Amino acid sequence: MTEREPDMMPEAEVEAETPETQYRASFSLKTKDAAGTGADAAVPAKVTARDVCVFYGKKQALFNVNLDVAQHRVTALIGPSGCGKSTFLRCINRMNDTIDGCRVQGEVRLDGVDVNQKNIDVVQLRSRIGMVFQKPNPFPKSIYENVAYGPRIHGLAANGRELDEIVEQSLRRAGLFDEVHDRLHSPGTSLSGGQQQRLCIARAIAISPELILMDEPCSSLDPIATAKIEELIDELRSRFTIVIVTHNMQQAARVSQYTAFFHLGHLVEFGSTEYIFTNPTEERTQDYITGRFG
């Protein structure tokens, strides 16, 4: 019997019986499909999005998005301004709930559990998901307090010493500790832009999230600060799953293992980063990554 091409495989043949195994199976198939290599086929999906549509009032911003985020990998979301990248990120931690008139349809699962299910505790959900925004936004508090805030409200430390340890470890992981250890009680806003962004990353990881969403985290940084954050992203993926929105193609190629290209609210193409950047199927992807539009 000759071996069948993975992309010829009918879905029914690989579909498993339970929702939990099904979401893993669907990721494997999709990865093989898109990348054509089968590499990483066994990586489980941390997040699965199925037929996700988002509306702002009557205006539809996302159309039937199906996307799987691989665990302990970096997934880059790319595409021209207004194509729905931030909207998609906000579906994962339910931040679209906070926008008046925004309506989400379809299914987003975190570890197989539907995040929009009625009995989900949104505060607890968000404690599993860290978020880093385009502009560094430290709280108007000290460096220490910026990082300690999350662990304190989520009760992650039994006493002051444990809290100190969490703060130090988070700052170390964010590659900032050596630069700030002697001024932990200075305001977070007294740091440089690149340091503030690393402080925000330290704040995000202090609550030990499983997933970190980054929305253009380097767009206001210089090349040196950007390089530091990119290095950090690569280190963080051994512990966390990361989704990063970026307008910088080189950055997407450098930091991610998977790339999703969005255009006008549609997920046009998704696959391994190598595949998307060297041999995409869709002309629109090719045009975008080579700078012909966007």
Contacting residues toward ligand ATP, per CB under 6 A: 56, 61, 79, 81-87, 99
Question: Is the CB of 169 or the CB of 248 nearer to ligand ATP?
Answer: 248
Within 227-246, which residues bind Mg ion (CB under 5 A)?
Answer: none
Q: Which is nearer to ligand ATP, 6 or 79 (CB)?
A: 79
User: What's the per-residue H, E or C state across 135-191?
Assistant: CCCCCCCEHHHHHHHHHHHCCCCCCHHHHHHHHHHHHHHCCCHHHHHHHCCCEHHHC
Q: Does 96 bind Mg ion (CB under 5 A)?
A: no
Q: Which is nearer to Mg ion, 6 or 84 (CB)?
A: 84
- Find out whether 156 and 166 touch, Cβ atoms under 8 Å: yes
Q: Other CB atoms closer than 10 Å to residue 117's CB: what's the count?
A: 10
111 torsion bin: left (phi>0), alpha (psi -120 to 50), beta (else) = left
188's contact among ligand ATP, Mg ion, none, with CB below 5 to 8 A by partner kind, is none
Q: Is position 71 an interface residue for Mg ion (rule: CB under 5 A)?
A: no
Given the rule CB under 5 A, which of 82-90, 106-114, 117-125, 186-194 is the region that contacts Mg ion? 82-90
**Residue 9 binding: pick among ligand ATP, Mg ion, none (C-beta 5-8 Å cut-off by kind):** none
Nearer to ligand ATP, 86 or 116 (CB): 86
Minimum separation from the CB atom of position 282 to ligand ATP (A): 17
**DSSP code string of 88-101:** HHHHHTTGGGGSTT
Provide the minimum distance between the beta carbon of 197 and ligand ATP in the complex, in angstroms, as a whole number: 17
Q: What value, to the nearest 5°, has the Cα angle with vertex 42 and ends 29 and 11?
A: 20
Does position 87 interact with Mg ion (CB under 5 A)? The reply is no
* CB-CB contact of 74 with 55 (8 Å): no
Q: Name the residues that contact Mg ion, by CB under 5 A.
A: 86
